[in-house]
Amino acid sequence: MSTLLARRELAPKIYELVVESGRIARKAQPGQFVVVMAHERAERIPLTIADADPQAGTITLVVLVAGASTLELSQLRPGQSLYAIIGPLGKPSQVEQVAQVVMVAGGVGTAPIYPIARAFYQAGSQVITIQGARTKELLFWTERLASVSHRHIITTDDGSFGRRGLVTEPLREVLQEDTERQIGCIYAIGPAVMMKNCVRVAESFARKIIVSLNPIMVDGTGMCGGCRVEVGGQTFFACVDGPEFDGRLVNWDLFISRQKLYHEQETCLLMQYSPHESEKPSAST
Q: How far is the CB of 201 from ligand NAD (least distance, A)?
A: 9
Q: What are phi and psi of 168, to 5 degrees?
A: -65, -25
Residues 26-85 that bind ligand NAD (CB under 6 A): 64
Q: How far is the CB of 220 from ligand FES (least distance, A)?
A: 5
Residues contacting ligand FES: total by CB under 6 A: 12
- 166 binds ligand NAD per the rule CB under 6 A: yes
- 226 binds ligand FES per the rule CB under 6 A: yes
Q: How far is the CB of 221 from ligand FES (least distance, A)?
A: 7
Cα 222-226-228 angle, rounded to 5 deg: 75
Residue range at the interface with ligand FES (CB under 6 A); choices 1-9, 115-123, 206-214, 222-230: 222-230
- 168 binds ligand NAD per the rule CB under 6 A: yes
- 167 binds ligand NAD per the rule CB under 6 A: yes
Answer for which of 30, 67, 90, 109 binds ligand NAD (CB under 6 A) is 109
- 159 binds ligand FES per the rule CB under 6 A: no
Q: How far is the CB of 264 from ligand NAD (least distance, A)?
A: 15
Residue 111 makes CB contacts below 8 A (sequence gap 6+) with: 48, 50, 61, 62, 141
**Interaction partner, residue 127 (ligand FES, ligand NAD, none; CB < 5-8 Å by kind):** none
- 222 binds ligand FES per the rule CB under 6 A: yes
Answer for which of 225, 232, 267, 268 binds ligand FES (CB under 6 A) is 225
Answer for which of 98, 218, 256, 269 binds ligand FES (CB under 6 A) is 218
**Interaction partner, residue 17 (ligand NAD, ligand FES, none; CB < 5-8 Å by kind):** none
Using CB under 6 A, list all residues that contact ligand NAD.
64, 106-109, 112, 132-134, 155, 157, 166-168, 189-191, 193-194, 197, 212, 214
